Structure 1
C-alpha cells in the first residue's frame, strides 16, 4: 500500500493545529494568523506559549486578527522565560469571532 505524500509543507492537519504541542513551521502571516486563531479557540495563550509554538512575534498576529474584527483581550501575568528570567507577559483570550 502506497502512502500519500504531503502536498503543502507549510500547512498543518486539523489534528496538529489543535494539539497542545503543535508548532507552526511557516513564516507566512496568514498561516500564522490561522494558527494563532486555532490556539485561542482552544484556550487563552501567553505570548511565551505562542512564541514556543513557532510564532516569532505574537503581538503582530494578534494586532492583525483584531484589525479583522476578532475580539481578543489581553491580560498580564508574570512568567519565567526560557532563559530563566521572570517577565511580565501578555495573555491573549478570544472573546468573540469576527463578524461576517
Structure 2
C-alpha cells in the first residue's frame, strides 16, 4: 500500500478528474481544499453517473463528502495554585496568673 493519494480540487471538472484517474491508474481521487485538507472523495462511478448530464460539471457536485474529525473535548485543567498565607507569629503569652485562695 502506498502513501501517495491522487487528488483534485472541488472546482476541477469531471473531465479533469477522469484524466487524473487515468494518469495515476486509480479509481478514486481525494478532493482537497486550498489548505490541503481532505473534503471528500470522488470515484469513477460518481463521474460516469454524472458524465451524461455534463462532463464539465465540477467535482464538488458529485463527490462524497468526508465528515470532519470530531473535535477533541478540551480537557479541563485544574489550576494548580498554592494558597500562601502569611505566617502568623505566635504572641508571647504570659504564663497564666495563679488562681489564688484568699
* TM-score > 0.5 by shorter chain: no
* Greater strand fraction, Structure 1 or Structure 2: 1
Task: Compare CA radii of gyration and give the structure with the larger one.
Answer: 2
Query: TM-score, normalised on structure 1?
Result: 0.29
* Greater helix fraction, Structure 1 or Structure 2: 1
